[in-house]
Amino acid sequence: MLKKISVLLVCMWGIASQEVEAFSPDSLWRTIRHRAFADYDEELVFHDRKKRFATLKHFSKNGTLLVETNFKDYAEGIRQGFSKGYYPSGNLYWLADYRDNKLHGELRVYYEDGGLKRRETYRSGFQKKKHCYDRDGNEIPYYELAEKASFPGGDRALQAYLQTKLNEFVAGNTSQIYNFEIYIEEDGKAVLHKFTNSHIMTINKLTDILTDMPKWKPARYDKNPQGEIVPISLLFQNGRVHLAALH
């Protein structure tokens, strides 16, 4: 049996990465990469020579499997087959099936004791059936599993707020796009996540915008608040500032 093994260890910005290539008995190349982050560890396994088919796993710092996702094209983010999520205890939390990155088949969510909490049926990404259950197995009113973070009053209210903070800085004949990202914390507070300095926007101005910004309704997964990155694209045009998505 032929084997070819190469090990690359990189330590940069607190991230350790280990890559191992092995020529397996079935003539398929397998590449295994490990990376360590502050809150979890990652294992990425490529199952073919072109590094398209892959399995991504996240583990807690004590080694408990948290998430497992399969891809038919990892670089393009195309999920295929089963994805699973687990409670910190190691018990199964949710199970989903994907076809060409669209939910296809059943999505199941479980209580930590193993009881069925939710069952949804999909066909090529379209929801066909939906049911939620209490801990005794009784069906209860359906609620969305995942909710995105939202500004109070919606996008138009966010645009109005940004206009009050920025209109005096917009030149009359300016027509430009400026993109940045904010992170909405679990309590709804917005903090700066990613930005670039420019002649129309500076870190000081962005800080001022976020300091006075009302709290958002945080993202939720299975009714539990969670942090979320929100990209914002601004259009400066004719002396006004707009959310590009609304213009």
So what's the pLDDT on residue 199? 79
Residuewise pLDDT in 10s, the chain (247 residues): 333 222 222 222 233 344 444 434 344 578 889 999 998 999 999 998 888 999 999 999 999 999 999 999 999 999 999 999 999 999 999 999 999 999 999 999 999 999 999 999 999 999 999 999 999 999 999 999 999 999 999 999 999 999 988 876 665 556 888 999 999 999 999 999 999 888 778 888 899 999 999 999 999 999 999 999 999 999 988 778 889 988 7
Q: How far is CA 162 from the centre of its chain?
A: 25
Amino acid at site 29: W
Q: Which residues, at least 6 apart from 14, have a Cβ–Cβ distance to it below 8 Å?
A: 38
Residue entry with tokens 């020579």: 49
Backbone φ, ψ for residue 211 (5° rounding): -60, -40
User: 160-210 pLDDT, tens per residue?
Assistant: 999 988 876 665 556 888 999 999 999 999 999 999 888 778 888 899 999
Tell me the CA end-to-end span of the chain in Å, nearest whole number. Answer: 62
Torsion sign over Cα 94, 54, 227, 63: positive
pLDDT value at position 28? 56
As a whole number of angstroms, the distance between CA 170 and CA 217 comes to 29
201's CB contacts (< 8 A; 6+ apart) are 178, 180, 195, 234
Query: What is the chain's Cα-based Rg?
Result: 23
pLDDT of residue 173: 58
SS (H, E, C) the chain: CCCCCCEEEEEECCEEEEEEEEECCCCCEEEEEEEECCCCEEEEEECCCCCCCEEEEEECCCCCEEEEEEEEECCCCEEEEEEEEECCCCCEEEEEEEECCEECEEEEEECCCCCEEEEEEEECCEEEEEEEECCCCCEECCCCCEECCECCCCHHHHHHHHHHHHHHHCCCCCEEEEEEEEEECCCCCEEEEECCCCCCCCHHHHHHHHHHCCCCECEEECCEEECEEEEEEEEEECCEEEEHHHC
